[in-house]
Amino acid sequence: MASAVNAAVSFPSSTSSSLPTRTSTVYSERISFSKNVFYSRNVYVGRKLFHIRAQVTQAPAKVEKVSKKDDEGVVVNKFKPKEPFIGKCLLNSKITADDAPGETWHMGKFPYREGQSIGIIPDGIDKNGKPHKLRLYSIASSALGDFGNSKTVSLCVKRLVYTNDQGEEVKGVCSNFLCDLKPGADVKITGPIGKEMLMPKDPNATVIMLATGTGIAPFRSFLWKMFFEKHESYKFNGLAWLFLGVPTSSSLLYKDEFGKMKEKAPENFRVDYAGMEKGIDDIMVSLAAKDGIDWLEYRRQLKKAEQWNVEHCNIALSTGLRDIIHFVKAELQTMRIP
């Protein structure tokens, strides 16, 4: 095995030597060695013979971190903007009450995994006359799809409409395109994208999910696989705990579905609703402090262990740690909507 050996030699003062007092010379040579710890060599400097004994050191091999998600055979970017997949709208239904602030719609062979996203390229051109750029949306269905045939993909989209500073009504390009889709219409799809929010593989895991509004999408995909589907190689036996932030009760999304999940597996599924205004870290800092836990440090440890995954306003925790359930549970008394 070859290695670079550096030997630093300090020569003593000598009247017969032309070398200056205490000259330091570095001698470098690439050699081969087996298990020798030291390397010896005689070196002539002028007419003087010096014996050099140098310790051979080898830089430790760089250990590359391998993510737990890299070995899962996850497909990403199969369809790209220049060659998108052409899907067809099958259904498009409003899922919020008429008095809810804004409208949220649920719409639905494209390969993807629970927790991934897709890109949508809306029809038409922008103000510069160029095709619209894609927008990313989290997938709201399991890999089997809402029809269970692995041939559909569903999204949960809120129609964006607002008034600008000039008093003009502005409509979000892609959200309105999707919410106005008619069954049978073609849709240009890219992706799938993302490995960060993948559903935990451990069927016994405690999965704590926090989302606001349409951020529920990836967790709906988790929950469908956990409670509505049968798989030979997967049966969920852990605890799925969902915190969903909503501004009003009329804005609750998929409430009937969650009710059925609770009926099927009361010991394995829990859902709690909370207001949307407070930030996730703000909530967690105060929760953790009650139990003497430094939340930011605890989050860092979870992230390092790949147990804390964040995508926009969605957060998934896969952990068997009882303390996080303990301090989250304490806060429910003040956060729960009547």
CB atoms inside a 10 Å sphere around CB 338: 4
Is 206 annotated to bind a ligand? Reply is no
191 in Cβ contact with 131 (< 8 Å) = no
**Torsion angle defined by CA atoms of residues 13, 17, 18 and 20, in that order, rounded to the nearest 10 degrees:** -10
**294 Cβ contact partners less than 8 Å away, ≥ 6 residues apart:** 288
**Residue 45 annotated as lining a ligand binding site:** no
Tokens coding 39:
């390397």
The 3-state DSSP class for residue 37 equals coil
- Closest C-alpha among 230, 232, 233 to residue 264: 230
Q: Is 311 annotated as a binding residue?
A: yes
Number of H helices, E strands in the chain: 6, 18
**How far is 153 from 164, CA to CA, in rounded Å?**
33
Secondary structure class of 35 (helix, strand, coil): coil
Type of residue numbered 275: G
**Binding site annotation covers 158?**
yes
138 is in an annotated binding site: yes
Secondary structure (3-state) at 210: strand
- 247 has binding-site annotation: yes
129 in the Ramachandran plot: left (φ > 0), alpha (ψ -120 to 50) or beta? left
CA angle 223, 152, 256 (to 5 degrees): 40
Residues flagged as binding site for NADP(+): 138, 158, 214, 246-247, 311
- The binding site consists of 138, 158, 214, 246-247, 311
